[in-house]
Amino acid sequence: MNLLISLTALGVVAMFGGILKFRSMVMPLSVLGLIGASLLGVYAWNTNQSFLNDMMRMDNYAIAFSIVCMAGALLTILFFHFFHSENETHYAEAVALMLFAVAGCVVMVSFTNLLMLFLGIEILSLSLYVLAGLRKKDLLSNESSLKYFLMGAFSTGFLLFGIALLYGATGSFATTQIAYQLGIAGMNGMAAMGLLLLMIGLLFKVAAVPFQFWTPDVYQGAPTIVTAFMATVGKVAAFAAFLRLFQLCFAPSKEGYQLVIGTVAAITMLAGNIMAIYQSSTKRMLAYSSIAHAGYMLIAVMTLNASSNGSILFYSVAYTLASISSFLIVMIVQQNRNNDTADDFNGLGKTNPWIAFTLAVSMLSLSGIPATAGFFGKFYVFSSAVSDGFIWIVAVAVISSFISIYYYFRPVIAAYSKQTHDPVMTMPPGTQALLILLSLLTILLGILPGFIAGMI
């Protein structure tokens, strides 16, 4: 609870930073506050505390995913500080919205009551709707915000109907009571329909096929730093909530829906990777890539076994590191070369070797090449499926991973094998150091993965 209170208070302080004109203090206060909140989470490790009449529980699962979300937000806020212009009028408000979004993430990953799940999703979603339209004079940003809002409202309807039907079938919003009642009475028609509608609502949130159609336009139209935040922090929280819901409520009935989730995962992986091949914009390519990664992460939700928690946690960390790096490099290229096609990465290995190095590491990790965190992220998820006998979904996932190599390597090949007459790219001070740090962390987790994978 201290973690949630501190994040909310931090968001209020950042918001008043814009009103009272002390913007220069917003970034240091936010970074220190997020570090402090993460330390509060570490301090609460193994305590398994319940709050709000047992509507939330800060167990190790909730703490671990909260820290991942806070780390992603910290990196995003740092990069936003480096790249925002001095005349940007809503800098403090944007940081405040990111902090409120992280507070929503904490609620999502720690719920033990469906009302808190819904509340957490709405706190996160409302913040993201506004962030997507941060550039009020940019028509693409406005379009992104409107599309995201409309699709989000649509998915919220499914969530609410699903929660209402589950309440009608079990007489409670508490996950323990829902699991107990379903264990006694079994999965009747009303409960099954509630489960289906909840699943549809959550598949919208994680951008899985066939509910992914909003993702490319929203990700491309939003400011790149906001896209990085949505694609990492938002997706990680949504998957953590997805997995927690099914573990707490529907684990005994998993045979009834595993084939459905597995089929959605397979189609999502293939569709995301195949569509990414045809994108000329690297930012839009990464949007389709995020759809494919939703498919990989759905495998952990499908198996729902003892290793699901650790595998999806490690995958989330690896994906967050690589995605934030990738979107940051796209932002640097956009600012220096006014576009983000593969040709705009030409000669990067000679003009900006450290940017090219980070690009290579992040793309290798996203494609799952050994010696990167992304390899072990996929390895743990695939191993979890194999241990339960789901060989077919692993075969689809491996084929999809091979397809992804084609488009992930496209900007890397351009950076190292093609020439350019463009000048050396410039970037704000501190950016290169953070890029190198993210690359080293990605490589380190690709060599020593056991620490994170065994946490929960």
Rounded average pLDDT per 10-residue block, the chain, 456 residues = 83 79 78 90 86 88 93 90 66 89 94 93 93 84 89 90 92 88 81 91 91 88 90 94 90 82 94 92 92 94 86 93 93 84 84 89 93 92 90 94 93 85 76 89 88 68
Instruction: Name the percent of the chain in helix, strand, coil, to the closest 5.
Output: 80, 0, 20
Q: What is the pLDDT of residue 108?
A: 93
User: 216 and 287 in contact (C-beta within 8 Å)?
Assistant: yes
Closest of 431, 436, 440 to residue 79, by C-alpha: 431
Tokens of 278: 């045809």
The alpha-helical segments, DSSP class H, found in 338-390 are 348-351, 353-367, 373-387
Residues 154, 4: Cα–Cα separation, whole Å? 27
Q: What is the pLDDT of residue 272?
A: 93
Phi first, then psi, for residue 50 (nearest 5°) are -105, 150
Residues 292, 290: Cα–Cα separation, whole Å? 5
Q: Where are the domains of the chain?
A: 1-252, 257-456
Query: Is omega for the bond preceding 210 within 30 degrees of 0, making it cis?
Result: yes
Q: Taking the model in full, what pTM does it have?
A: 0.93
The alpha-helical segments, DSSP class H, found in 133-234 are 139-170, 175-185, 189-206, 215-221, 224-229
Q: What is the pLDDT of residue 91?
A: 80
- Sequence length of the chain is 456
Q: What is the pLDDT of residue 454?
A: 67
Q: What is the pLDDT of residue 50?
A: 85
Residues 227, 229: Cα–Cα separation, whole Å? 5
Cα 329 versus chain centre, distance? 18
